[in-house]
Structure 1
């Protein structure tokens, strides 16, 4: 997300269905990161499904950095969840 000290916003509407990492500004200040699959992107709002199956809506203008990340690798037999 950083490129030589700069925050980089790399995702587009074409990335719906892909797993992404987002850094967003919080209303009270500061930042938080969200990782998940972009389920929709409409009217400036992204819906992202996290690994625990919860969804979060993110205002496009709150995103300060983003990138596509690899899918979660499948679990091996016998691994704990």
Structure 2
């Protein structure tokens, strides 16, 4: 069984691969280190540079440094809004 540090390195490598291969407009969730914890950015990939990705979230654009990325994966589109009850 891999050591925890090896697992973290593997998860990070997979996450960076997801971000590298994603097309602008793909819906993703990206988890990144933030202070003593982590934060998630859920939305569409708006831009990518050599050092950051920008995710358009409900709250606006969220620029995530690639050095802080711990995990990333594609996610399905959001559910359709519910119809109001009669």
TM-score by length of 1: 0.73
Report the equivalent of 2:28.
20
Number of residue equivalences? 73
Decide which structure has the larger Cα Rg and report it.
Answer: 2
Matching residue of 1:67? 73
1:50 and 2:66 equivalent? no
SS of structure 2 residue aligned to 1:13: helix
Q: What are the ranges of 5 or more consecutive residues in structure 2 without an aligned counterpart?
A: none
Higher helix share: 2
Match of 1:29 in 2: 36
- Mapped partners of 2:74, 2:64: distance in 1: 16
Listed as ranges, the gaps of 5+ residues in structure 1 are none
Moved over 4 A (4+): none
Report the Cα distance in structure 2 between the residues aligned to 1:35 and 1:12, rounded to whole angstroms.
Answer: 13
